[in-house]
Amino acid sequence: MVSEALLGMKKSWDVIVIGAGAAGLFCAAIAGERGKRVLVIDHASVIGEKIRISGGGRCNFTNIHSAPNHFLSMSPHFVKSALSKYPPKNFIDLIKKHQIPFHEKHKGQLFCDDSATQIVDMLLNDCQKAGVTLRYPESVKDIKNEEGHWSVYTNTSEEHTQAVVIATGGMPVPAIGATDFAIRFAQQLGLPVIPCRPALVPLSFTSEAFAGLSELAGLSVPVLISAGMKGQGYGVAVFDEDLLITHKGLSGPAVLQASSYWQEGQEIRIDWTHGANCDALFDDESLRLKQAETLVAELLPQRLAKYFVAQVGLLGRKWAEIGKKDRQELKRLLTAWVVKPAGTLGWKKAEVMVGGVDTRALDSQTMMSKQYPGLYFIGECVDVTGHLGGHNFQWAWSSAYACAQSLV
């Protein structure tokens, strides 16, 4: 890898990759290994920062269960080709080859034992071995399609290439340099774009909808949560994960997952009992002399049990005194709590972006634009969003591989 600070350079490349994140660096290394002359350009002063901060600094680099059903896209079948060409096993083998120790945490999520920096170093080392030229910080000002080739104009140079790969990611975490470059460029070319919004992000609520719950901030419970609507957007999904109550609203894996499907104005539904058999508990004659909150505490943490019992006005009452109507209302609150979020905590707190360059404008085998030969979009800027737990990194590796292998 060669870092160049020369001004006014004008050179011809086989491939120019815009963006030195997970997808961009991986694509560049593979293309370089295949003998391509590769230039990577990034506007950031620090490379791979999103990788470094991911997974609490240990990078959840893939998920052993990653498969098409773990992704959102307006074209659900689009991911199949790339994932089959480069499944999780292939990246795990690469990690092992580089002797990076790792472990499985939860539901197939794989993390580095030591540091996410090891992933960045691996990608940079592979680029260096493959003879990739990396230039940063350098800003792309314009990209033009001219007579069968592409010209890339930056703040320091003019470059010519047979292929341009857009790997600039999405808009989450603007503090580390995230931008909407890919979206703006696609729109400039007239390519269709699916509206973008924050995903894998905490949800906020009005003070009225959240009354009383904020006092339980810090409490985490396993729940079943559903979000989205059938026939709208990415449809509806149900997740079995932990939910965290915060001062600002709801977070934790359950809510982050649901946020990818939730759209403004929609409600979410939560089963706080985690699928428990309420009827069996409510009909248990041996518990009829217990107070309502004590009985519900068999299913939920005590403070949360008190909150829901109070919502129905049953605090301090013996179960035997409570009628069928109140019992049914309590069951509804516990198993089908419906609430309308006010919004999300936005790009600053989002892990990924839903939406992006419409996959119907791309070839699923190669990631190349159907309208513009030699132009590719990979990684997060495409309308493919993974569930929580390493799936988004797997999409970065898979889409980058499919692209790099197709470069002629």
- pLDDT confidence bin for 246, thresholds 50/70/90: very high
pLDDT-derived band at 5 (thresholds 50, 70, 90) equals very low
Give residue 8's pLDDT band: very low, low, confident or very high (50, 70, 90).
very low
Which residues belong to CATH 3.50.50.60 in the chain? 2-197+350-406
pLDDT in the model for residue 118 = 98
DSSP 249-287: EEEHHHHHHHHTT--TT--EEEETTTT--HHHHHT-GGG
pLDDT of 130 reads 98
CATH of domain 2-197+350-406: 3.50.50.60
C-beta separation of 182 from 164 below 8 A: no
pTM above threshold 0.85: yes
Report pLDDT for 248: 87
pLDDT (average), residues 346-358:
97
- Quickly state the pLDDT bin for 211 (edges 50, 70, 90): confident
* Interval 166-179 mean pLDDT: 95
pLDDT in tens, 35-71: 999 999 999 999 999 999 999 999 999 999 999 999 9
What integer is the mean pLDDT of 251-275? 97
- Residue 10's pLDDT is 59
What is the C-alpha R_g of the chain?
Answer: 25
Mean pLDDT of all residues in 374-386:
98
Q: Minimum mean pLDDT among 16-20, 127-131, 146-150: which range?
A: 146-150
Residue 165: pLDDT over 60:
yes
Q: Does domain 203-344 have CATH number 2.40.30.10?
A: yes
Which residue intervals of the chain bear CATH 2.40.30.10? 203-344
Cβ(365)–Cβ(402) below 8 Å: yes
pLDDT of residue 73: 98
The pLDDT of residue 7 is above 90: no
Q: How confident is the model at residue 4 (pLDDT cuts 50, 70, 90)?
A: very low
Question: What is the chain's mean pLDDT, rounded?
Answer: 95
Residue 5: other Cβ atoms inside 10 A: 9
Reply yes or no on whether the pLDDT at 295 is more than 60. Answer: yes
